[in-house]
């Protein structure tokens, strides 16, 4: 993979909409070369986020009390909550490099990070005519969700790794546009997961400091 060192920002729990405001600022700075490529690692309180292709029938019932926020990223519906490591990537793409090319790199870096934790994982190619299989999978279950976009050659949004949070909210909606998808976490696959260790290994795999 490319040598692409990133500047690291780390936070704990950040409200999703406040994070979107901050991310927009970071993207604008990167577009004007006022900051380097950046990885922002954080978590969110419980929230569902809907990508541009999310179908209304895939949304959770409002009675569950978890807010749903529309986003400008690609991808479908996803869930964020405590115990999930979110990484926002504000990266200037190279000439001729598209956002899908970069997403492939992100998948491979996360596969490597999970491997460091002792967890066998893989990215998948999407069969023609099928729903996008963007993300990372382990044992047939999805462990990482990815949704990104690019504006003026700078990426935004990123990935979410289920580390040791509650997986039950995933069953309240149609995750990732796939009714039959089964979500998993590092803790579920390995029996336990140290959130800080996962965060450190992910930062290392992205050459972020």
Walk me through the domains of the chain, giving residue ranges and CATH numbers: 7-205 (3.30.930.10)
Helix (DSSP H) and strand (DSSP E) numbers for the chain = 4, 9
**Residue-level pLDDT at 128:** 60
pLDDT of 102 reads: 96
Based on the residue annotation, tell me whether 176 is a catalytic residue of this protein: yes
Contacts 24+ apart (CB under 8 A), 113-121: 113/198, 113/201, 113/202, 113/204, 113/205, 114/138, 114/143, 114/144, 114/161, 114/186, 116/201, 116/204, 116/205, 117/186, 117/190, 117/193, 117/197, 117/198, 117/201, 118/190, 119/143, 119/186, 119/189, 119/190
Q: What is the pLDDT of residue 90?
A: 98
Q: Out of 111, 148, 161, 176, which one is annotated catalytic?
A: 176
**pLDDT for the residue numbered 109:** 97
pLDDT tens, residue order, the chain (209 aa): 889 999 999 999 999 999 999 999 999 999 999 999 999 999 999 999 987 777 777 788 888 899 998 887 767 788 999 999 999 999 999 999 999 999 999 999 999 999 999 999 998 876 565 555 789 999 889 999 999 999 999 999 999 999 999 999 998 887 766 777 899 999 999 999 999 999 999 999 999 99
């Amino acid at each position: 993979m490319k040598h692409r060192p990133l500047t690291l920002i780390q936070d704990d729990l950040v409200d999703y909409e406040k994070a979107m405001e901050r991310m927009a600022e970071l993207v604008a700075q990167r577009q004007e070369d006022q900051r380097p490529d950046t990885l922002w690692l954080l978590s969110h309180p419980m929230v569902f986020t809907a990508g541009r292709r999310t179908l209304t029938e895939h949304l959770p019932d409002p009675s569950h009390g978890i807010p749903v926020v529309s986003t400008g990223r690609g991808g479908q519906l996803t869930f964020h909550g405590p115990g999930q490591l979110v990484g926002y990537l504000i990266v200037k793409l190279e000439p001729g490099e598209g956002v899908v090319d970069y997403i492939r790199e992100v998948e491979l870096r996360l596969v490597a990070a999970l491997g460091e934790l002792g967890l066998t994982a893989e990215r998948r190619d999407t069969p023609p005519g099928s729903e996008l299989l963007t993300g990372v999978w382990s044992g047939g279950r999805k462990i990482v969700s990815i949704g990104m976009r690019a504006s003026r050659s700078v990426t935004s949004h990123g990935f979410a790794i289920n580390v040791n949070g509650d997986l039950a909210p995933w069953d309240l909606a149609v995750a990732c546009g796939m009714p039959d998808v089964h979500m998993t976490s590092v803790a579920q696959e390995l029996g336990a997961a140290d959130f800080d260790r996962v965060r450190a290994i992910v930062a290392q795999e992205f050459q972020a400091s």
